[in-house]
Structure formats: structure tokens, C-alpha cells
A and B are shown apart, each in its own frame.
Chain A
Amino acid sequence: MKRLVPLWLTAIAGIVMIVSYFIPWAQGLGEVFSIWFDILAGIAFILGGGNLLQIHLKKVSDKGAGWGYSVILLVCFMTTLFVGLGKIGVHPSPQFPDESWSGVYNQSGGPFWFLYEYAFKPLTATMFAMLAFYIASAAFRAFRAKNIEAILLLGTAFIILLGRTYAGVWLTGWISDEGPFRGLRTENLSEYIMQVFNKTGTRAIIIGIALGIASTSLKVILGVDRSYLGSGED
């Protein structure tokens, strides 16, 4: 029973979504189900937030490994929550000057905006910027010309790396842009690789993925694949 009800719910919801796509009066159902999911996910924030507090409070009280980081997390979490929810330091909106909570929570100059502008924004930009360092170390460690395919890959990588900068333009600038060999200019070569080889490969992968998604979805709807419920067996 514990697994039968979710299985039936999945099957009914899945089949209704598929059929509704073709039946005009039911075509809005897909959006309705998406909105229901968004509501569920929104309420689940409370669950997640509660779990976060529980885990890290326990770590602090037990003085487990890395408990200092938990303290920082808890302070930042509560501060942002308090400042954002309470609209601390936010001036009322000009349309409703008498209502103290009518201003936008992230009003420019307010404490929440300050946290976003001087803490959140630099931190996320820093995390994204770290990719540059990691790609260099990955390239040094992993890119070896072990076989023909690897050699082709490295050659292509060099062309694209140079073609996406002025170095490539400078290196092959002596080739005439109007002659029969203009395709050998690095920037043209890299564009050709992106427009032909990359496009083909990407299309093939996308088609395969789409078929995989359709097949997996069908398995879930028909109840063939039940691992997401906790087990593949009854």
C-alpha cells in the first residue's frame, strides 16, 4: 500500500499530463501541475531550512569537526533571513507611503541590498572565477596525446584556444582573407569547427538525451522503474 498509492499517483499524473497536451480544454493542466509543484517546493524550503538548522546546531553543540564553519553558517543564515523577511531599513514605497512594509525588500541602499552587493555578489563571482584555475590544473593533468583521438582533440583544442583570442588572428594574419586559403586563418578555422563539427556532435548528443529522457519518463510512469520510491522491488 505504501508503494502502491505513489505508483498510481505517478501513473495517473503522468498519463494525464501526456493526454492533456493533445486535448485543447486540458492543455492548461500542465501549467497547473507545474504551479502545484512550485508550491510544494516552496513549502519544502521550510523543511530544508529546518534541517539545516538542526544539523548545524547539533554540530556546534557537539563541537564536531568543522563546527566553526557551522557557527558562521548559522549567523549568516539568521541575519539574512531576519533582514530580508523583516525588510529592515527599507523605506516605504512612494505609492504607499503610510505602509512601512510596502518597500521592495532589496531596495538599493538597504541592509539586504548591502549584504547582496558586498557579500553575496563577490562570493558567487569568486566561486565562478575559480573555474579558470581548475581548468588549468585539469588541462595540465589530463590532456595527454595517448592515441589518435586524443591527438585530434588536442589539435582542435589548440585551434579553438588560439582562435578565440587575438593571438590566433596575429599568427595567421599573413594568410589573405580573400584567397582560397582564408579558411586556414585561425579565427575562420575555429568558427568552422564550431559551426560544423561541434554542431553535429551536439545535435547527436541532444537527440540521444531526449530519447533517454522520454524512455526513462515512460518507465517511471508505467511503474517499471521504482527506485525513486526507495526500492526496485516490492
Chain B
Amino acid sequence: MLDLFIIVLAAALVLMLLALTVTAVAAFRFPQATHFVKDLDRRWIFVLMFLAVAIPLLYQLTFPEEPTSLAITVFEEIEKLEPGDKVLMAWDYDPASEGELGPMATAFTFHCATKGLKLYYMTIFSPIGPQMIDDAINNVLKTEFPHYEYGVDYVNLGYKPGYEGVVKVIVSDLKELYTTDHYGTSTRDIPMMKDVRSVQQMDLIVNVSAGYAGTKEWVLFATTPYPENIKMVAGTTGVMAPGMYPYIPDQLLGLLAAIKGAAEYEELVMSAYGSDDLGLAYRKGQLRMGPQLIAHVLIIILIIIANIIYFAEKRRGAA
């Protein structure tokens, strides 16, 4: 893999330099060429982007991941927990953002189950949220952790409408709102819910969020009013991540930003607890970093080409 990645990067660099050289020459010597590129049908750009994403995916191109400080913090917060500790898994995303958030949700479930933690799943994002929880349960818990028993080791509390209103209630009384789990069983009959009064008794909240309601609502209505009792780490989409930085580290201990954060976290989890038997099932974030790298390089090339043409035309106009 390392050899392939070196070849791919070198090829990308050569192609980039070639494209830029050709563009620069064409822009200053052949005005018709610049018109062609300037008025290029955007569908050609879509085709280039499609190839940039599809080829690395098909060849399962992965790159080494060096975890950054935020991903390491998230990993260590979960590492600190002891078997039997309670973790609230707030899965606030839907199929649209599964590409970005699915890998980190899978990695979180794997890591927490490996540590023997009690998992309380819930969602406030949308009625489709419980499907994402079911995916995590079916793909991870039932597959790799068959000893995990529903109601004893994990529970799916499902979706409740009300967005931040739900958070405001469950920080003091969880069972007031969640009288049953997602499947209709009374929470009073679920063994692992017996001694749970509120979210404040959770040892950690792990939030995976795609938008509203999500990480921001948990920060505003859970970790800010109860900084001593409620600790949280989160994973968000790339677009949301910049807005979460102001809350680090007081209200939000750590953050996984987009697929890069997921890939770094997967690297940490798999290095610590992975094995060859697992294959690439728990490295989907890293698999998706291949297309991300090529796509980013493509975007940089496009921007530089566009600017070369812009400056060439400006110079011609001035002359």
C-alpha cells in the first residue's frame, strides 16, 4: 500500500505540474484556449470529480493516518472509562450524512463495546435516526460482540421529537420522556435503565451530529449547565466542525471533524484493538480518505488553472 500511495501521489504531482504548465503556456500564448477553458461546461468538472472519487475507491487506496490532538483526546476520553461505565450514544444523523459520519459511529460502537461499556443509544435529529442506530447495532454489536445482550449491555431508546426540548428534560429526568425504548418495552423493565435517573449519571456522552438538533444543542443545554457532571465528545460533519471549535475544551472535550477525524480515530482504535480478521470493515473512514486526497488536489488544480487564465486575461486586457 505504501508503494502504491507513493506512486499515486507522485503521479498526481506530475499531472498537476503538467496541467499547470500547459495552462500557463496556453493562457499567455493562445487566447482561444483560455476562452475554451473559461467557458468550460461544468459537466466536464463533474466528470473529473467523479473520476477523482471513483478511482481511489475502486482501488481501495488508503493512506497512513497520523492522528491529531483532537482525535487523540476523543480516544483517550473513552479509554479512561472502566468496564460497566455508562455511555450515552447520541446518534443525531441520517442517511444523507452516513458517508461522513457512519465510519466514526461504527468506530465509536466498536471501541466502547471492546471496553465493555454500557451503551445507551438515542437520537433527537430525525425520525429516521433509529435506523442509523439499528445499523450500528446490527453491523457491529451483533457481529463482533455476540455476548452483548440487549437491555443489559445496550439499549435503543429511539427518537423523541422536540429537539433541544428533549435535552432540557433528560438532563434531569430521563424516564419522564423515555417511558419506553424504541421497541415499546417499558424502561422500568429494562435492567440497565433501573438505576439511571438522568443524563448526569452517564460517564460520557458520545454525540455524532449532522446538523440541527445536534452537538450545539447538547453543548448549550447539557454540558454548559452541568459542567461537572456531563462530559461529552462529538463527531460532526466537516461543515459543522468550525462552529464547534469555540466550545473546545471546556464544553466539548474532543471533536472528530468529518471523514478525516473518523479516519484518525479509526487508526487509533484499530491500532489498539483491531485485528487482521476485521478486514476493512472498520477502516471505511480511511478508505474514504483516498478519494478525499485526490479530490482536494483536483480542486487546488482547478483553482490555480482558473487564476492563471484570470491573470492572463487581465494582462491582455491591460495591454
Contacts and interface: CB of A to CB of B under 8 A. Distances in A.
Q: Assign chain B's interface to a size class.
A: 35 or more
A183 to B, nearest CB: 13
Given A31-B168, A31-B169, A104-B184, A162 B300 contact: yes
Considering residues B162, B182, B300, which has the most beta carbons from chain A within 10 angstroms of its beta carbon?
Answer: B300
A161 B300 contact: yes
A176 interface: no
Given A137-B46, A169-B66, A162 B298 contact: no
A116 B94 CA distance: 11
Interface stretch (A53-61, A117-125, A212-220): A117-125
Interface residues of A, number: 50
Nearest to A170: B9
Interface string A75-94: 00000000000000000010
Interface in A103-149: 104, 106, 108, 116, 120-122, 124-125, 127-129, 132-133, 135-137, 139-141, 143-145
A231 interface: no
Nearest to A164: B260
Secondary structure at chain B's binding surface: helix, strand, loop or mixed? helix
Nearest to A126: B96
Nearest to A198: B242
15 contacts: A31-B168, A35-B165, A108-B134, A121-B131, A125-B99, A128-B96, A133-B50, A137-B42, A137-B45, A158-B300, A165-B260, A166-B289, A167-B296, A187-B66, A195-B245
Given A116-B131, A157-B303, A194-B241, 16 more contacts: A120-B95, A136-B45, A136-B295, A136-B298, A136-B299, A137-B45, A140-B303, A143-B306, A145-B307, A145-B310, A154-B307, A165-B297, A187-B68, A194-B242, A195-B245, A199-B245
Interface of A: 31, 34-35, 38, 93, 95, 102, 104, 106, 108, 116, 120-122, 124-125, 127-129, 132-133, 135-137, 139-141, 143-145, 154, 157-158, 161-162, 164-167, 169-170, 187, 191, 194-195, 198-199, 202-203, 206
